[in-house]
């Protein structure tokens, strides 16, 4: 039985919420249909959401399917994740202008004329994220640690994140590649949001349950029509979320995962997956927690003005680990192994939690359909078998 106070609102109230946020000069971004998929972009009202659409996801497969109802949130995650707003794909770190034999740094947010690249010194553009799934919310927590817990921090990320509204959405269905339940990152958002919505569609009704997660969330909710949810309504919401939990397309056993992966550097499975992996880097691009970047120095034709740009990068690229003469990880095998080991094991040593939220994007968007849960399962099974065999052997030797 739900213990927190839930409220009930109708679709119109969500439009009211969007409106209010826009009036307060927040850019509301959320899922919207673009071409044959759902992407994240600016929303002006609920009609910009993928109304009446759901998605079918499987390894290397993503399809949008029309529903006979006017649902607002009946899909799961899109190839876009919220990191693109807090941690932009391209960011100008600084510009420099030649001055005699030396140069001056220009850090006032002055980009090249006509440049649309955001600058690290830009004033914060406040966002309101509408439609954040629990897995993506956990991804934000993970990136908060990556960018905010070290000696050196990403201040652009922090300044933007601080002001960003989070309106979470609890999933009432799971897709074929989802496994947030195994990773304990969903399907229900439990904290870190301003408001959390659960869409309930029954034969006769269509409403939204709202949980308040912050003071400003409460104030926002007071601006629109709402009433306390009835017990039956709250229960219905819980049922739908539980449904999603049971529907998970995949699972991943995280017990002892760090130890297992660290001991499995020479597992033959890496050769199996390497034979399939194209090192195309799709997985790292769609992953909501991947954070690798590279720095690019560009100089204009006159040679007088240079810029340093930070761009998303991927550990799958050939020269990611290049040092004088060659790459440390030149084989696809080594690169895939690095990515999976980092995501599921090293991340724990580096940041205290797993780096995977179970969103399934890497599975859906891999052109050859490599499934991280399947790859890990194969490795885990050998480890478990070997450990069982050796302890049986030890026991038997002891008895000999």
Partner 1 sequence: METLERILAEHQFFKDLAEPYLQLATGCASNIRFEPDQFIFREGEEADQFYLIRQGRVALQIFAPDRGAITIETLTEGDILGWSWLIPPYNWHFDARALEVTRAIALDGKCLRRKCEEDHNLGYELLKRFAHIIEQRLESTRLQILDIYGVRS
Partner 2 sequence: MASAVDLHVKSPDDIVSSMSPHLYGIQRVRKETEDTFTLELQEKSGRHKLSFAPGQFNMVYVFGVGEVPISISGDPASPVLVHTTRAVGTVTRVMSKLRRGDMLGIRGPFGTAWPVAEARGHDVVIVAGGIGLAPLRPSLYEVLSHREDFGKVVLLYGTRTPSDILFREELEQWRARFDLEVHVTVDRADSGWRGNVGVVTTLIHKAPFDPQRTVAMVCGPEVMMRFAALELVKRGVSAGAISLSMERNMKCGIGLCGHCQFGPFFVCKDGPVFRYSRIKDLLTKWEI
Binding site for partner 1 (CB under 8 A): 324-326
Q: In this chain, which stretch among 95-103, 178-186, 197-205, 386-394 interacts with partner 2, using CB under 8 A? A: 95-103
Residue in 35, 68, 114, 303 binding partner 2, rule: CB under 8 A: 303
| Sheet order of strands, 293-299 included | 102-106, 90-99, 305-312, 293-299
Q: In the block, which residue shows the tokens 């478990």?
A: 384
Choose from partner 2, partner 1, none: what does 326 bind? Cβ within 5-8 Å by kind. partner 1
Minimum Å distance from CB 325 to partner 1? 3
Asked if residue 334 binds partner 2 (CB under 8 A), the reply is yes
Nearest CA among 284, 264, 279 for reference residue 345: 264
Residue 182 or 327: the one with the smaller Cβ distance to partner 1 is 327
Minimum Å distance from CB 318 to partner 1? 15
Structure tokens at 193: 């949001």
Asked if residue 125 binds partner 2 (CB under 8 A), the reply is no
Q: In the block, which residue shows the tokens 């009433």?
A: 227
Minimum Å distance from CB 388 to partner 2? 24
Question: Cα–Cα distance between 40 and 23 in angstroms, integer?
Answer: 20
∠ CA 339-343-346, rounded to 5°:
100
Residue 265 or 318: the one with the smaller Cβ distance to partner 1 is 318
Asked if residue 385 binds partner 2 (CB under 8 A), the reply is no
Residues 195-224 that bind partner 2 (CB under 8 A): none
For residue 326, the SS3 value is strand
Residues 343-362 that bind partner 2 (CB under 8 A): 345-346, 349-350
Residue 321 or 353: the one with the smaller Cβ distance to partner 2 is 321
Question: Cα–Cα distance between 127 and 7 in angstroms, integer?
Answer: 24
In the chain the first and final C-alpha atoms are separated, in Å, by 56
Contact yes or no for 241/171 (Cβ under 8 A): yes
Q: In this chain, which stretch among 191-199, 227-235, 341-349, 369-377 interacts with partner 2, using CB under 8 A? A: 341-349
Burial tier of 349 (Cβ tally within 10 Å: 0-12, 13-18, 19+) = exposed
H/E stretch holding 145 reads helix 134-148
Residue in 73, 75, 156, 208 binding partner 2, rule: CB under 8 A: 156
Residues 270-299 that bind partner 2 (CB under 8 A): 291-295, 297-299
For residue 54, the SS3 value is strand
- Name the DSSP letter for residue 345: I
Residue 6-45 contact track with partner 2, rule CB under 8 A, x = bound? ----------------------------------------
Nearest CA among 339, 346, 328, 322 for reference residue 277: 339
Minimum Å distance from CB 149 to partner 2? 10
Cα 339 to Cα 179, 365, 391, distances in angstroms: 18, 16, 31
Q: List residues near partner 2 by CB under 8 A.
A: 93-94, 96, 98, 101-108, 120-121, 146-147, 150-156, 159, 265-266, 291-295, 297-299, 303, 306, 308, 310, 313, 315, 319-325, 328-331, 333-334, 338, 342, 345-346, 349-350
């Amino acid at each position: 039985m739900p213990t927190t106070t839930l409220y009930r609102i109708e679709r119109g109230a969500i439009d009211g919420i969007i409106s209010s946020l826009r009036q307060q000069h927040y850019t509301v971004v959320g899922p919207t249909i673009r071409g044959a998929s759902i992407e994240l972009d600016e929303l002006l009202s609920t009609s910009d959401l993928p109304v009446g659409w759901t998605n079918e996801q499987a390894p290397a497969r993503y399809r949008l399917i029309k529903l006979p109802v006017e649902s607002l949130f009946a899909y799961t995650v899109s190839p876009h994740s919220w990191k693109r707003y807090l941690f932009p794909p391209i960011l100008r770190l600084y510009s420099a202008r030649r001055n005699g034999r030396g140069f001056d740094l220009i850090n006032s947010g002055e980009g090249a004329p006509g440049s649309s690249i955001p600058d690290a010194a830009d004033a914060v553009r406040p966002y309101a994220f509408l439609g954040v799934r629990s897995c993506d919310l956990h991804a934000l927590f993970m990136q908060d640690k990556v960018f905010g817990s070290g000696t050196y921090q990403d201040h652009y990320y922090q300044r933007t994140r601080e002001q960003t509204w989070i309106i979470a959405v609890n999933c009432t269905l799971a897709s074929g590649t989802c496994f947030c339940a195994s990773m304990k990152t969903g399907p229900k958002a439990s904290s870190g949001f301003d408001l959390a919505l659960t869409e309930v569609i029954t034969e006769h009704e269509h409403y939204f349950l709202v949980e308040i997660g912050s003071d400003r969330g409460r104030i926002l909710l007071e601006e629109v029509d709402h009433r306390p949810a009835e017990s039956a309504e709250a229960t219905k919401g819980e049922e739908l979320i539980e449904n999603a939990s049971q529907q998970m397309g995949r699972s991943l056993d995280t017990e002892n995962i760090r130890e297992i992966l660290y001991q499995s550097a020479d597992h033959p499975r890496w050769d199996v997956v390497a034979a399939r992996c194209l090192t195309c880097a799709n997985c790292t691009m769609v992953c909501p927690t991947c954070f690798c970047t590279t720095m690019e120095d560009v100089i204009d034709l006159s040679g007088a003005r240079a810029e340093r740009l930070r761009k998303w990068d991927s550990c799958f690229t050939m020269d990611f680990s290049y040092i004088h003469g060659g790459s440390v990880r030149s084989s696809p095998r080594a690169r895939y192994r690095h990515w999976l080991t980092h995501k599921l094991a090293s991340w724990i040593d580096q940041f205290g939690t797993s780096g995977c939220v179970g969103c399934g994007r890497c599975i859906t968007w891999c052109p050859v359909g490599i499934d991280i849960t399947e790859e890990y399962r194969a490795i885990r099974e050998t480890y478990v078998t070997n450990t069982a065999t050796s302890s049986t052997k030890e026991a038997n030797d002891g008895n000999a």
